[in-house]
């Protein structure tokens, strides 16, 4: 792949869309997980982080510039590990791994990641910036 990309870089500006960019990487979660995550987020997270992830009070936004600044260089698995250990504040670690996985899928999708075919189990080295650009997708948030 490296050789291919190098050749393409020399050959054409097309290399940008072939070898980089969000579309190249498929996300490690399913549409079903996004839907479950929307419900779980509403129950366990929205009270502090807002229905549309924009934050409130002490709780930071989980989208946009803050999200990119804090998470774009980290992996999807690291995000899952963080929320599994540290959230919901006051009830840390209280949800099941499946619930945390679905919430991770939902937050990634709400930030622009497209679902794939493999369910997310909590482990993934995929860098968040490779799948999500931090721009809130209102259709994911509303479920419509
Ligand atoms: C009682 C309020 C409250 C609830 C409920 C809550 N959070 Fe938080 N959350 C906070 C506060 C306050 C912070 C900032 C301090 C910190 O990072 O611990 C935070 C930080 C975070 C961060 C880090 C944000 C960043 O940019 O570093 C993430 C991610 C997060 N919460 C996700 C969640 C998820 C997912 C849920 C639901 C499972 C949840 N939170 C529920 C209050 C809450």
CATH of the domain at 115: 1.10.760.10
pTM above 0.85, yes or no: yes
Full residue range of the structural domain in which residue 50 is found: 25-142
| pLDDT attached to residue 26 | 78
Residue-wise pLDDT tens digits, 99-119: 999 999 999 999 999 999 999
3-state secondary structure of 50: coil
> Does residue 18 lie within any of the structural domains?
no
CA–centroid distance for 90 within its chain: 23
Residue 63 Cα to ligand 1 middle (Å): 12
Residue 34 Cα to ligand 1 middle (Å): 19
58 lines ligand 1 (CB under 6 A): yes
> For the chain, how many structural domains are there in total?
1
Phi, psi of 121, deg, nearest 5? -110, 0
Are residues 122 and 84 in contact, defined by beta-carbon separation less than 8 angstroms? yes
> Does residue 2 lie within any of the structural domains?
no
> Does residue 14 lie within any of the structural domains?
no
Ligand 1 pocket test: which of 43, 49, 54, 82 has the largest number of ligand atoms within 8 Å of its C-beta?
Answer: 49
CA–CA separation, 22 vs 66, rounded Å?
19
For the residues 54-71, what does the mean pLDDT come to? 97
Ligand 1 pocket test: which of 88, 90, 98, 111 has the largest number of ligand atoms within 8 Å of its C-beta?
Answer: 88
> Does residue 6 lie within any of the structural domains?
no
Task: Share the mean pLDDT of the chain.
Answer: 89
Residue 58 Cα to ligand 1 middle (Å): 9
> Does residue 11 lie within any of the structural domains?
no
CA–CA separation, 98 vs 101, rounded Å?
5
Are residues 127 and 79 in contact, defined by beta-carbon separation less than 8 angstroms? no
3-state secondary structure of 129: helix
> Does residue 80 lie within any of the structural domains?
yes
């Amino acid at each position: 792949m490296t050789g291919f990309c190098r050749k393409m870089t020399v050959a054409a500006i097309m290399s940008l869309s072939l070898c980089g960019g969000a579309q190249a990487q498929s996300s490690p979660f399913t549409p079903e997980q996004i839907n479950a995550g929307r419900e779980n987020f509403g129950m366990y997270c929205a009270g502090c982080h807002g229905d549309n992830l924009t934050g409130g009070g002490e709780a930071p936004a989980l989208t946009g510039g803050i999200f990119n600044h804090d998470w774009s260089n980290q992996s999807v698995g690291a995000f899952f590990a963080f929320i599994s250990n540290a959230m919901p504040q006051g009830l840390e670690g209280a949800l099941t791994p499946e619930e945390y996985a679905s919430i991770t899928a939902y937050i990634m999708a709400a930030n622009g990641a497209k679902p794939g075919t493999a369910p997310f189990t909590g482990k993934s080295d995929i860098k968040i910036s490779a799948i999500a650009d931090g721009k809130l997708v209102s259709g994911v948030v509303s479920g419509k």
